[in-house]
Structure 1
Amino acid sequence: MLDIPSSVRVDVEALLAAQNHMGVCDAIEQYAPVGKPDTMTAPHFPKVAGIDSTVPPPAHTVAPASPAPAPPSSPGAPGAPGALIQDRLAGWVSDLTTLHELTERLARTAVMDDALHEVLRAGAALVGARRGLVVLEPADGLGPDTTVGLGLARADLGHIETVPRGATSYGRILDRTDGTGEPEVHADLLSEDGLDPRHREVAARLGYAASFALPLATEAAGRLGAAVWLYDEPAEPVERQRHLVGLYTRYATEHLARLLELERARAKSRTIAEELLPPRLPRVAGVQLAARHRTGPRGGGDWYDALPLPEGALGLTVGSVTGSGASAVAAMGRLRASLRAYAVMEGEDPVAVLSDLELLLRLTEPARSATALFAYCEPALRKVVLAGAGHSPPLVIGERRTEFVETSLSAPLGMLACWEAPSVEFSPEPGETVLLYTDGLLHRTGDPMDRAFARLHAAAAGVPRTIRDDPGAIADHVLHTVLPDGLDAADSDEDVVLLAARFE
């Protein structure tokens, strides 16, 4: 509580309406009373968000001679104790509001690149700089390592990287072995004695004259990297600015550490999923193959495969396991490996292949279901026999037709006590492409399924004649037409798989 005499009143509403952006230290310097204080206890404000609010004690210890009586000052006068308190509180409110807004904006970022850009923008606003860069280089050496700039083009970052590492602010921070979090301040780079010649040349070329660098490090997260802000003229942040940006970067480091852990987990999941899929497609006479695969950070359950079979035949399959994440990736790998074995043994009968897979799923993965489609192809005869379990029908794309193959309606694998559905047979014409895909292609559109199917059909019908001989180009056209504006690469629970087979 503040020990304030009854003659002094603090108008809180006037405080909030003032919107005074003066910091705590500035208010103390400008409004500290001179001489003997009023007969009141020295106020001790509580600590707020790391801001040391203790009022320095008076410099004198012996009361001076009584001065001549002065007229009483009103509470709103600049030298009055009430004005001092109001200015201090207004500075705290302004600083804390700014920090709250900046940290909230950072907390809304979910991707590392977005978070790094937000850290740069917020730090530049706090220290009064216009440009800067963040060097992400985790101390554990596991990466990812990257450099992001604010107001600096890629070529500008390239120029900065030509400066010897030990001559740069971020290099000295990242090479520290004592783990200190002290900033690197260069208030006037071009006038410094001993500045590296290359650094001087780059600073003159890019037009910056001062820099302020902070480590992105905390005791819990360790050292993640360093942030550097650049000034166009000789300058350096004042104590208040350093304090605020220090608070902000400590919070930012913890947020970046969480994103880094998530990014590494996603990278591992993507790597495992890619390794469980075919590294390359086989070459079989009479057919050309191409595949496209997009895995979301929480996906991983979709697969595709192309397997050469005896007597020049070819087995094509796509499928999807329910769930997402590492467990779905593992289940997908087991099912795909099992399906390959069944295809080798009885691939000419797709119904038998999927029936065996259904039995395996019920015995080994009782908590999961899966959709699958298996096609037994004889390229020499241009004959395809396929069976599907809860899967979307293939699409035939040719000069004279673009149509879905009529398949039997069936429940997904694992949904029935015993799965069996009749197969269908069709013959693609020379030059036609059979497109197999997973439901993720349709779900990522965000449309109802009937509209998604219509969009897919329209995209296939609109394949330009100039690329109809290339199954890879056909798959790319369909993918980017159905999922425009980066939807194919956006974060999603849904994987996307396309497998295109063009018959000659």
Structure 2
Amino acid sequence: MASNAPVGKPTDMSSPRLPKVAGIDSTVPAPPHTVAPLPGVPSAATPSDAALPPGVLIQDRLASWVSDLTTLHELTERLIKTDSLDGALREMLGAGAALVGARRGMAVLEPADGLGPTSTIGLGLAHADLGTIETVPRGSGSYGRLLDGLPEAEPPGAGLPHAEPPGAGLPGNSPAAPRRPARVPEPIAIRDVRTEEGLDPRHREVAARLGYAASYALPLATEEAGRLGAAVWLYDEPAEPDERRRHLIGLYGRFATEHLARLLQVERARARVATVAEELLPSRLPRVPGVRLAVRHLTGPQGGGDWYDALPLPEGALGLAVGSVSGTGPSALAAMGRLRASLRAYAVMEGEDPVAVLSDLELLLRLTEPARSATALFAYAEPAQRRIVLAGAGHAPPLVVGDHRTEFVETSLSAPLGMLTCWEAPSVELSPAPGETVLLYTDGLLRRTGDATDRAFARLHAAAASVPRADRSDPGAVADHVLRTLLPGGLDPAVEGEDVVLLAARFE
């Protein structure tokens, strides 16, 4: 709710130092009692306007409307380019500050359904400042009142008599309750924190400490999306936006809320996919004498079918596997889980022969999922003898990293599983030296670089060769260095659906 303006000469808004955008002067020179006309709503002519020809007045108003539309177009275009909740909140906060003529502010993401995620973003406020603002009781702060005061609206026609449809009272014929859209509250303007009635003393104390004198809070909510959060902008001097600015920030806020709602759905879907993928993979790596293991698994936006496994086998042996299932999304995750579980069973029965393990896996995939292909690499390791026997089906060769060599293991070329009537390829045996680390990885690691295959292999080799000597005794440090060097910016968002798996085994 907006406070009553204090008696006396009105004060101009805080003079922000924000870049100007088309149609909006961030210094807000107009005093509050000089209200700009709302777009589409004609205002009464002033004495000076009466002396102007009607054509000039119409041109001025049209120019003002065009300028406002241009401003909103530019700001919404910038907002729509954001692809993360954090980025969208920051863009919305900065654009809103220019629209309302403020210098600082904060945005709180707190969906009403309680499913998260939640976050707080500041503009011109340090992390400690945000913490200080959050010490104000929520019932006193404007954004807190918006977050806690969104009751559901009654459906249209509630409380009015209406005719019951035929059979409405019979069992099984009860109509579904209509969806109740959320009632969107009005923005809250506090023109002067020092004189506003009903504020908690802590609110005035925090305002004096941080040096702001007024605030304007906008709900991030629509009837369809419900409540997602709230944004509040802070003024250095007593002030509040005029009607024109309120209208513009209201339009922009509704668009921003819908954009945030879409990003929220995407973020939650990604989180669910990542959770399912993690649950289908080993919760921890086994401890086998003579070898130390580490794994790094990065899930793509849509959730791919990359997987890994490490299982202890009889007589102190160890089975290591990595693979990838074609496709993305829940179906690929389900196929990945079935394939991994089958490989574990085959490895226990005939792990000493990796070719037999992959042959059985090929037959299973061809019979149960003929429309799907997969790559896989299985290694039977005997750490006590530092001996590894491995076979791969359409998979990238392992990489051996040590003090005296960094080289790919020469494996035979083979088609992926599900591509041939009968799969079989010769196995390869290698003997890592003490202190050497064998890296098993999926093709997603190479594709995420965005380079051609030969260049991606060269970059992977260079990244492994550059591991500092101090880190080579730790397989986790080796994996981290390779990932940082190969993917300095993390997962490339341009490559959709590609997971990354990097399994490191260091032999003592």
Q: Distance in 2 between matches of 1:160 and 1:440?
A: 44
**Cα distance in 2, alignment partners of residues 399 and 104 from structure 1:** 52
Matched, 1:395 2:383: no
SS at match of 1:429: coil
Bigger shift: residues 480-489 or 99-108: 480-489
Q: How many residues align?
A: 450
The alignment status of 1:453 with 2:457, answered yes or no, reads yes
In the aligned structure 2, how far is the partner of 1:300 from the partner of 1:485? 19
Q: Distance between the aligned counterparts of 1:447 and 1:57, measured in 2?
A: 65
Q: SS state of the match for residue 489, structure 2?
A: coil
SS in 1 for 2:304: coil
Q: Structure 1's 282 and 311: CA in aligned 2 closer, same or farther, altered over 3 A?
A: same
Q: After TM superposition, give the deviation of residue 164 of structure 1 in Å.
A: 1.1
Q: Do 2:311 and 2:318's aligned partners in 1 also have CA atoms closer than 8 Å?
A: yes
The 2-side partners of 1:173 and 1:20 are apart by 29
Query: Residue 187 of structure 2 corresponds to which residue in structure 1?
Result: 183
- Say yes or no: does 1:101 pair with 2:48: no
1:491 to 1:245, Cα distance in 2 relative to 1, 3 A: farther
**Deviation of residue 55 (structure 1)?**
6.0
The 3-state SS of whatever aligns with 2:139 is helix
Instruction: Please say if 1:244 is aligned against 2:209.
Output: no
1:498 aligns with 2:502: yes
Match of 1:131 in 2: 104
- Give the SS at the match of 2:273: helix
- Compute the displacement of 1:195 (Å): 2.4
**Equivalent position to 1:304, from 305, 308, 325:** 308
1:409 pairs with 403, 406, 413, which one? 413
Partner of residue 428, structure 2? 424
Distance in 2 (CA, whole Å) between partners of 1:241 and 1:80 is: 27
Deviations 1:80-124 (A, max 9, x none): 101111111011101111111111111111111110111101111
Q: What TM-score comes out, normalization by structure 1 length?
A: 0.85
Letter matched to residue 382 of structure 1: R
Q: 2:41 aligned to 50, 53, 74, which one?
A: 53
* Offset, 1:487: 4.2
Query: Match for 2:318 among 314, 318, 326?
Result: 314
- C-alpha distance in 2, partners of 1:375/1:490? 32
Which whole-Å CA distance do the structure 2 matches of 1:98 and 1:217 have between them? 22
Provide the residue aligned with 1:155 in structure 2: 128
Q: Is residue 373–residue 387 contact of structure 1 (8 Å, CA) maintained in 2?
A: yes
Structure 2 length normalisation: TM-score? 0.84
Q: Select 2:60's aligned residue among 87, 105, 129.
A: 87
Deviation of 1:57 after TM superposition, in Å, equals: 11
Residues 260-287 of structure 1, C-alpha deviation per residue, up to 9 Å, x if partnerless? 0111000000111111111110000111
Indicate conservation of the 8 Å contact 1:387/1:422, yes or no: yes
Q: Any unmatched runs of 5+ in structure 2?
A: 1-21, 152-182
Aligned residue type for 2:40? D
Q: CA deviation at 1:128?
A: 0.4
Q: Kindly state the Cα deviation for residue 488 of structure 1 after the two structures are TM-superposed.
A: 7.2
Give the corresponding residue for 2:383: 379
Measured in 1, the distance between the counterparts of 2:131 and 2:254 equals 28
Aligned to 1:3: none
Residue 398 to residue 126, structure 1, CA distance change in 2 (3 Å): same
The residue number in structure 2 matching 1:475 is: 479
User: What secondary structure does 2:335 align onto?
Assistant: helix
The DSSP-based 3-state class of the residue aligned with 1:269 is helix
2:223 and 2:50 map into 1 onto residues whose CA distance is 46
**Aligned counterpart, 2:284:** 280
* Contact 1:269/1:300 (8 A) holds in 2: no
Alpha-carbon contact 1:294-1:488 (below 8 Å) kept: no
Which blocks of at least 5 consecutive residues in structure 1 are unaligned? 1-18, 33-49, 59-75
Residues 293-302 or 381-390, more deviating:
293-302
Alignment pair present for 1:486 and 2:490? yes
> Paired residue for 1:168?
141
Q: Structure 2: how far apart are the matches of 1:199 and 1:443?
A: 53
The whole-number CA distance in structure 2 between the counterparts of 1:315 and 1:184 is: 63
- Structure label with greater radius of gyration: 1
Q: Which piece of structure 1 moves more, 239-248 or 196-205?
A: 196-205
Contact 1:135–1:148 (Cα < 8 Å) also in 2: yes
Report how far residue 450 of structure 1 moved. 1.1
Deviates more, 1:220-229 or 1:293-302: 293-302
Q: How far apart, CA to CA, are the structure 2 residues paired with 1:121 and 1:488? A: 26
Q: 1:439-483 CA deviation, whole Å, 9 max, x = no partner?
A: 111111111111111111111112211121111111111111111
Letter in 1 for 2:232: V
CA contact (8 A) 1:480 1:488 kept: no
Indicate how the Cα distance of structure 1 residues 260 and 21 shifts in structure 2: closer, same or farther if over 3 A, else same. closer
Distance across 2 between alignment mates of 1:296 and 1:322? 14
How does 1:34-45 map onto structure 2 within 5 Å? none
- Name the SS of the counterpart of 1:493 in structure 2: coil
**RMSD of aligned C-alpha atoms?**
2.5
Aligned residue number for residue 179 of structure 2: none
